[in-house]
Amino acid sequence: AKEHGRGRFEVFVPSLGARNRRASQVEAALREAIERGEMSLEWQPQVEVRAWKVASAEALLRWNHPELGAVEPSEFIPVAERCGLIADIGNWAMARACTEAQAALPGLAISVNVSPVQLMQEGFVEHVQQALRQSGLPPSRLEIEITESVFMDDPSAALSHLHALKALGVRIALDDFGTGYSAFQYLRRFPFDTLKIDRAFVRELMTHHDARAIVRTIVQLATTLGMHTIAEGVEEPVQLEVLNHAGCQSIQGYLIARPMPLLRLLPFLEGWAGI
Ligand code: C2E
Ligand code: CA
Ligand code: CA
Ligand code: CA
């Protein structure tokens, strides 16, 4: 509580000022994070339900700052997008993911998140090409994940970068499907290989009966359009059961494993025999 005039106190809620201070703190620290080696990746396995096989893994950025501690991507990615650091951070993650995968994860496909802001940057496609060349990772083993907000700003610019990536042989996934702005025409116009059903739908499978019908419809739509389907945030066996029944091909979530550093993923893959 903070004193306010004579004997008056008010409960502390972070004011706009405090939130801005935190954001500028994060921004200042973020500018040095890569050089100081504070960034790393964790990997979360993705399982093909039919074959019950770990076929791929998603790379997720981690940032550990000596004073701020572990800052979550949901906090620092938006800051990076606003202050022009997303290209550096995103390119670092892309290069690192390709290198780790080629060096240590033979045969595994990988997914790397790409912010729409990063996707639109001039030179983005060249950076991906360079990451592939320097690591030696075959393009067919790389998938990028982008969210629906890519439709908002400048769909035609986004589309041209995505087509260039496709021409390299890289796969494209639409992340968080169903949470934002999706129109059927975009699903047809954009070259998506994979549709990733958002955790919100998966969560509702437990409580809302119509969520099952919605998921079934999403899977049918994706299948009709020739896309692979994966559901994220699968935590409960019953969710897996419903998703499998709906025809969803792959799953990812705490039911299988939490994201983990490369050094833990290796023994996980060796010991994979199911859950
Ligand atoms: P996302 O791409 O939707 O990633 C899934 C998030 O859900 C991850 O959070 C993951 O740890 C978490 N998750 C996975 N399985 C479960 C589950 O079963 N239950 C629950 N409750 N959560 C689960 P994380 O790692 O904190 O990442 C948050 C977001 O930050 C990501 O959402 C993505 O949008 C962004 N992000 C992460 N790494 C990168 C990156 O390298 N580049 C960009 N541009 N964005 C990234
Ligand atoms: Ca993702
Ligand atoms: Ca997602
Ligand atoms: Ca999500």
Q: DSSP string of 142-205?
A: EEEEEEGGGGTS-HHHHHHHHHHHHHHT-EEEEEEETSS---HHHHHHS--SEEEE-HHHHHHT
pLDDT band for position 181 (cuts 50, 70, 90): confident
Atom of ligand 1 nearest to the CA of 259: 11
Nearest ligand, measured from the Cα of 200: 4
Residues 6 or more apart in contact with residue 228 via CB below 8 angstroms: 193, 194, 195, 222, 249, 250
Question: Does residue 13 contact residue 67 with C-beta atoms inside 8 Å?
Answer: no
Pocket of ligand 1 (CB under 6 A): 44, 60-61, 72-74, 77, 90, 93, 113-115, 145, 175-176, 232-235, 253-254, 259
Mean pLDDT for 206-218 is 90
The pick from 39, 60, 115, 196 for probing ligand 1's pocket by mutation, whose C-beta has the most ligand atoms within 8 angstroms, reads 60
Residue 256's H or E segment, with its range, is: none
- d(CA 116, CA 190) in angstroms, rounded, equals 14
Across 99-137, b (16+ Cβ under 10 Å) vs e yields bbbbeebeebbbbbbbbbbbbbbeebbebbeebbeebeb
Prediction ipTM score: 0.98
Q: Using DSSP bridges, classify how beta strands 250-251 and 39-48 pair: parallel, antiparallel or unpaired.
A: antiparallel
- d(CA 129, CA 123) in angstroms, rounded, equals 10
Task: Provide the pLDDT for residue 274.
Answer: 62
Task: Provide the pLDDT for residue 1.
Answer: 43
Ligand 1 centre to CA of 101 (Å) is: 19
pLDDT band for position 2 (cuts 50, 70, 90): very low
- d(CA 129, CA 170) in angstroms, rounded, equals 10
Q: Using DSSP bridges, classify how beta strands 142-147 and 171-177 pair: parallel, antiparallel or unpaired.
A: parallel
The pick from 79, 112, 113 for probing ligand 1's pocket by mutation, whose C-beta has the most ligand atoms within 8 angstroms, reads 113
- d(CA 102, CA 134) in angstroms, rounded, equals 10
Query: What are 229's strand-pairing partners?
Result: 195
Task: Provide the pLDDT for residue 275.
Answer: 56
Which region, left, alpha or beta, applies to residue 188 given φ > 0 means left and ψ of -120 to 50 means alpha?
alpha
Mean pLDDT for 194-200 is 95
Across 20-51, b (16+ Cβ under 10 Å) vs e yields eeebeebbebbeebbeeebbebbbbbbbebee
Q: What is the pTM of this model?
A: 0.93
- d(CA 36, CA 212) in angstroms, rounded, equals 46
Q: In this predicted structure, which of 115-129, 163-177, 179-193 has the lowest mean pLDDT?
A: 179-193
Task: Provide the pLDDT for residue 156.
Answer: 85
Ligand 3 centre to CA of 123 (Å) is: 25
Most distant CA pair in the chain, distance: 70
Task: Provide the pLDDT for residue 14.
Answer: 76
Atom of ligand 1 nearest to the CA of 196: 3
For the four alpha carbons of 105, 106, 111 and 114, in that order, the dihedral sign comes to: positive
Nearest ligand, measured from the Cα of 252: 1
Report the chain's terminal Cα–Cα distance, integer Å. 48
pLDDT band for position 112 (cuts 50, 70, 90): very high
The string of pLDDT tens digits covering residues 113-144 is: 999 999 999 999 999 999 999 999 999 999 99
Mean pLDDT for 191-212 is 92
